[in-house]
């Protein structure tokens, strides 16, 4: 099973709301990623967790807060977002944080900030 699941599929939120995106994988992978993707553009890396510890933060604004409760789950907490944060948010996982590892992507959460 090479599936990464994400919920919700779509999310509309106001600029004062607090919401969370969820990601789950059951492949035993120990590296998990959050990406942001605008239409017809490549994914932009936001955060990487390796063995449940934050390994890479690509200078993401603090209104995005990642959390890795266990090796299968990855959350992205959202607060006080801006309209320009509207995008497809992708979760991915790989066996470990190694340059040879394939990243498996989830279907994404389509986020609209009003």
Partner 1 sequence: AQSVSQHNHHVILSEAASLELGCNYSYGGTVNLFWYVQYPGQHLQLLLKYFSGDPLVKGIKGFEAEFIKSKFSFNLRKPSVQWSDTAEYFCAVNATSGAGNNRKLIWGLGTSLAVNP
**Candidate list 85, 106, 109, 113; residue touching partner 1; CB under 8 A:** 106
- In sequence order, the 6+-apart residues with CB closer than 8 A to the CB of 45 are 33, 34, 35, 56, 58
CA distance 13 to 18: 8
Instruction: For residue 54, state whether it binds partner 1 (rule: CB under 8 A).
Output: no
In the complex, the smallest distance separating the C-beta of residue 87 from partner 1, rounded to whole angstroms, is 14
3-state secondary structure of 96: coil
**105 contributes a contact to partner 1 by CB under 8 A:** yes
Nearer to partner 1, 20 or 103 (CB): 103
Residue 16 near partner 1 by CB under 8 A: no
Q: Decide: is 99 part of the binding site for partner 1 (CB under 8 A).
A: yes
What single DSSP character describes residue 85?
G
User: Is 28 a binder of partner 1 (CB under 8 A)?
Assistant: no
Contact in structure between 51 and 30 (CB atoms under 8 Å): yes
Residue placing its CB nearer to partner 1 in the complex, 80 or 88: 88
Q: Which two tokens stand for residue 71?
A: 């090796």
With vertex at residue 95, the alpha carbon angle to CA 99 and CA 102, rounded to the nearest 5 degrees, is: 50
What is the contact surface with partner 1 in residues (CB under 8 A)? 4, 40-43, 45, 48, 55-56, 90, 92, 97-100, 102-108
């Amino acid at each position: 099973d090479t599936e990464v699941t994400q919920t919700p599929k779509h999310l509309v939120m106001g600029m004062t709301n607090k919401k969370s995106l969820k990601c789950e994988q059951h492949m035993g992978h120990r590296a998990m990623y959050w990406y942001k993707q605008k239409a017809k553009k490549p994914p932009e890396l936001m955060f990487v967790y390796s063995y449940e510890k934050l390994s890479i933060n690509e200078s993401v604004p603090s209104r995005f807060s990642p959390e890795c409760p266990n090796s299968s789950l990855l959350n992205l907490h959202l607060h006080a977002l801006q309209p320009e944060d509207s995008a497809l948010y992708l979760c991915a996982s790989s066996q470990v944080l190694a340059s040879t590892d394939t990243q498996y992507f989830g279907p994404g959460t389509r986020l609209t900030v009003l």
